[in-house]
Chains A and B, each alone.
Chain A
Amino acid sequence: MMQMLSAGGLSVVTDGERQADADNPRGYFEWERIKLLPKQPDCIAEAEGKVVKVISQLLFALPAGREYRVIFMQRPLPEVVASQAEMIRRRGTTGAGLAPAALIAGLGAHLNQVNAWLKDKANISVHRVEHGDVLREPLRVSESIQQFLNCPLNVDAMSQQIDKSLYRQRSQTA
């Protein structure tokens, strides 16, 4: 999605620190400082008018007093958990230590809390994008994003960023 938005003409906040790897051979659009958001909420000022990648957990730390437009990427949780397990294995770190089913339930509850929190925020508008839709209908998704952001984007260039070969953690039920 970050590649799509960049190709569409939006300015992306990234530090380029995280290099491409087997999980994401086309590189990352990470901005490490965003992880400091809970302690340094003002750092979001650097992303004014730009695009920044934020994990759902960090939404809670967005400071009030600003307008935000959130493109919320959604994917079946079994796929998320399988993908995360593979990333954790490659990183050599220790994850939640829960069985996949328990982790799926935990992530589901977490998303419910995030959604409930977002619902009450008048300064945050949300556009939800299904991961599978991006792969199947990239042009339609790109147009919907253009409409949500209410600014002209190069939707053709956006839709050409999709590389279906990277869709490896397909849910068995998908």
Chain B
Amino acid sequence: MPEPLAKKVLLIGWDAADWKVINPLLDQGLMPTLDDFINHGVMGNLATLRPILSPMLWNSIATGKRPNKHGIHGFMEPDTQNGGIRPVSSTSRKVKAIWNILTQRGFKTHVLGWFAGHPAEPINGISVSDLFPYATAPQDQPWPLPPGAVHPESLRDTFAELRMHPADVTEAAILPWIPRAAEVDQEKDKGLMSFAKILSENCSIHNAATWILQNEPWDFLAVYYNGIDHFCHGFMHYHPPRMEGIPEDRYEIYKDVVNGAYRFHDMMLETLLNLAGPDATVLLVSDHGFHSDHLRPRGIPAEPAGPAVQHRPFGIFCMKGQHVQQDERIYGATLLDVTPTILTLFGLPVGADMDGRVLVQAFEEPPQIARIPSWEQELGECGMHPSDLRMDPAAAQAVLQQFVALGYIQPPSEDQSKAVASAVREANYNLARDYLDCGRPDDALPLLEDLAKNDPKQTRFQMHLAQCYLALSRRAEAKQILEALITADLNPPEAEAAKAEQPDQAEAGQVAENVQQAESPQAETARTETPEALAPETTTPEAATSQEKQPNPRPWADLLMGVIHFEEGNMDAALASLLKAEQSDPRLPNLHLRIGETYLRQKRTDDADRAFQQALDIDGDSPEAHLGLAMVRLRQRRNEEAAEQALLAVGLQHFLPLGHFYLGVALARLGHRQRAMLAFETCLSMLPGLVAAHRWLAALHSQPGGDLDKAIRHRSLYAQLMQQRKTRARA
């Protein structure tokens, strides 16, 4: 077994933290603790998964596994005890989290506030569930902790006392963030109330974390703060520069809230680091970023989890401690890598069934990595709830339906039924999108076909079904859906039909997550409990008016139709469809990439250059846009720039085989043979069947000083692959 690389590990989660906001604050010296942290450790982007929904992502961070393995598929799940819904729970997670594995190996382990953390798991340490910080009653009334919020039960009263109520947030606490708070008309604008709620909840979590660090022995502590995400959902539209449509006076009132949130987290970080001590290895991660610039959406789609459109696909990763590099940047990390890396820090093996990898580049020396097939088969008490308490939410719902059919219990109310149906539907939709994201369209297909059949008015289901058919090369079926979407858009339905297509009020209310309620389980529960709570909750008038209808599917359908034409080799038709999409929505994600690829295929290199530049103008952190520009620069024989673009691409997304391939080509042309061979080998480790990479390696190894055996092997592989290709073509 490898030697441990850390004495103790502190894992801090900042939901939605984003370098795009942090970097200017670092430059101004406004986040001194984080600045010092990254100067003594490593930092980098942390690529997220899709769909970008926090409960799924934080459980992937904690397990090293994708949602289709860990079983957390959304915000809500059916509740068998009340016939309605509840926040997704710890009994629904199917696999061990890092705190379970460490419990199993006898480490003193604590976890605080993690998504799907309720009821608190019986680990070897303290577990405080995600329902812990929410104030469920006014300050002058009792607000007991929900049963199961704290393990061990003996610490329940201690932790209840550590909570802060929103009403305890005083003027003195608000004014540094919102100096003109007195101008807010609190009858119309609930911004201050939301602010106090978010601040108090995060103070409660922080109090609990500092209490543990001060009073309990620990080997591992994981603590999750939702503050940055919730402040951003509530106030990012006031963040500088002022967005179109935001009134000047309100902008002036709230413009500093987001930066204030980051500075506040920096202060909390300082306390945590001081209490953790110099011996601790510390990881600071976020599950996704948050659009803070010209990419901020102007409206939120009126669909469940619509506010996720504000999320950016890159979060943050920082780590410092013994054996960790100092003042270095690391590339290509994904949130699936966090748990394998922590296991390696403790000298424990990584499960082969984990989807992430150890971030070896973060260490001074490559660490020894032990492996086992799976932690799930390792016997021993791991602090999960007993297996007989864990129940598939869909099966639980079926049992309730059985009781209703038998007349044993009353049917759920209409509101409850809608909420349950919505929770089950969204979980299936999210699971299908996870399958699509990890290249398993076969598994996504039955889910999407069911969703599209049962709810044909939801264009998002049709759109993803078309995408799924395309991934399965079932182009005719994809075309059929897209043509229907395009035709429907060309022939707008009557007003009444149009009205019917909008999500109903209950659904819109359930998902009016443009405020901190977006990811607040307690608020979700509250909303399902009373009919009046079904109305959308908003913080500020601007947030209230930012709800959009279902997104217009037309530009997206044109884009996908362009992709189909491209795959069929009809470049003129592809370009025509893509340019139509551009006319309707020039900022459609990936549109300019597809246009650029089409121009490349047409050998219109300068047009392709412009298209990829446009893609970068929209999102400077797009690995695909850098990849496209690398290809363009190779065509133009501007090899140094090609290498630079390819490096940028793989830096943003390490698993990008073509990025490594283009890098190899550019380096080979520049005469950097060894580095070129390394790039081609990296490419082949990701995409072993890439014929051209074998040909390049054969050629490079055939040069003087090369490895002739390898040259022969790659030449042989090249020949085999070409033969297979010919056979397939003939078939």
The residues of A with any CB-CB pair to B shorter than 8 Å are: 35-36, 38, 55, 57-58, 60-61, 84, 87-88, 91, 93-98, 102-103, 105-110, 112-113, 116-117
Contact = CB atoms under 8 A, between A and B. Distances in A.
A110 B396 contact: yes
Nearest to B411: A35
A112 B391 CA distance: 10
B388 interface: yes
B711 interface: no
Contacts of A58: 408-409
A105 B403 CA distance: 15
Contact of B395 (A35, A38, A102): A102
A44 to B, nearest CB: 15
Interface in B576-613: none
Interface in B401-423: 401-410
B405 A35 contact: no
Contacts of B392: 106, 109
A93 B405 contact: yes
10 contacts: A38-B83, A57-B80, A57-B403, A88-B405, A91-B407, A93-B407, A94-B401, A109-B390, A110-B391, A112-B386
Interface string B616-627: 000000000000
A103 B397 CA distance: 11
Contacts of B83: 38
B141 interface: no
B525 to A, nearest CB: 15
A55 B388 contact: no
Contact of B402 (A60, A96, A113): A96
Which among B80, B396, B404, B408 has the greatest number of chain A C-beta atoms within 10 A?
B408
Contact of B403 (A55, A60, A116): A55
A29 to B, nearest CB: 14
Contacts, number: 88
B388 A96 contact: no
A38 B82 CA distance: 7
A84 B402 contact: yes
B408 A55 contact: yes
The 5 lowest CB-CB distance pairs between A and B, nearest first, are: A112-B388, A96-B398, A96-B402, A106-B395, A109-B391
A96 B408 contact: no
B563 interface: no
Contacts of A61: 82
A115 to B, nearest CB: 8
A51 to B, nearest CB: 17
A96 B389 contact: no
A91 B402 CA distance: 12
Given A109-B388, A112-B388, A60 B81 contact: yes
Which among B83, B400, B401, B407 has the greatest number of chain A C-beta atoms within 10 A?
B407
B267 interface: no
A55 B82 CA distance: 14
A136 B559 CA distance: 71
A46 to B, nearest CB: 17
A109 B388 CA distance: 6
B406 A106 contact: no
B204 to A, nearest CB: 25
A102 B398 CA distance: 10
B406 A88 contact: yes
B352 interface: no
B405 A91 contact: yes
A116 B391 CA distance: 13
Contacts of B406: 84, 87-88, 91, 93, 95
A55 B405 CA distance: 13
A54 to B, nearest CB: 9
Given A60-B82, A98-B395, A109-B391, A35 B409 contact: yes
A94 B405 contact: yes
A116 B80 contact: no
A103 B398 CA distance: 8
Contact of A113 (B80, B401, B408, B409): B80
A58 B403 CA distance: 10
Interface of B: 80-83, 386, 388-392, 395-396, 398-410
A88 B398 CA distance: 14
Nearest to A53: B408
A116 B401 contact: no
B405 A95 contact: yes
Contact of A106 (B82, B396, B409, B410): B396
A55 B409 contact: yes
B410 A112 contact: no
Nearest to A38: B82
B399 A103 contact: yes
A116 to B, nearest CB: 6
A97 B82 CA distance: 21
Contacts of A98: 395, 398, 402
A110 B399 CA distance: 8
Nearest to B91: A113
B408 A57 contact: yes
Nearest to B82: A38
Given A35-B410, A110-B80, A112-B388, A105 B395 contact: yes
A113 B389 contact: yes
A89 to B, nearest CB: 10
Given A36-B410, A116-B388, A116-B389, A97 B398 contact: yes
A172 to B, nearest CB: 21
Given A102-B398, A109-B399, 6 more contacts: A35-B409, A57-B400, A91-B405, A106-B392, A110-B396, A117-B81
Nearest to A58: B409
A105 B80 CA distance: 15
Given A38-B82, A97-B398, A102-B395, A57 B389 contact: no
A12 to B, nearest CB: 18
Contacts of A38: 82-83, 410
A95 B395 contact: no
Contacts of B403: 55, 57
A136 B342 CA distance: 58
Nearest to B390: A109
A82 B510 CA distance: 38
A61 B392 CA distance: 21
A61 B408 CA distance: 14
B470 to A, nearest CB: 31
Contacts of A55: 403, 408-409
Contact of A95 (B82, B401, B410): B401
A36 B411 CA distance: 10
Contacts of A60: 81-82
Which among A35, A36, A108, A109 has the greatest number of chain B C-beta atoms within 10 A?
A109
Contacts of B81: 60, 113, 117
A28 to B, nearest CB: 10
Contacts of B404: 93
B389 A106 contact: no
Contact of B399 (A36, A88, A91, A96): A96
Contacts of A103: 398-399, 402
Contacts of A106: 391-392, 395-396, 398-399
A74 to B, nearest CB: 15
A105 B26 CA distance: 55
A38 to B, nearest CB: 6
A75 to B, nearest CB: 14
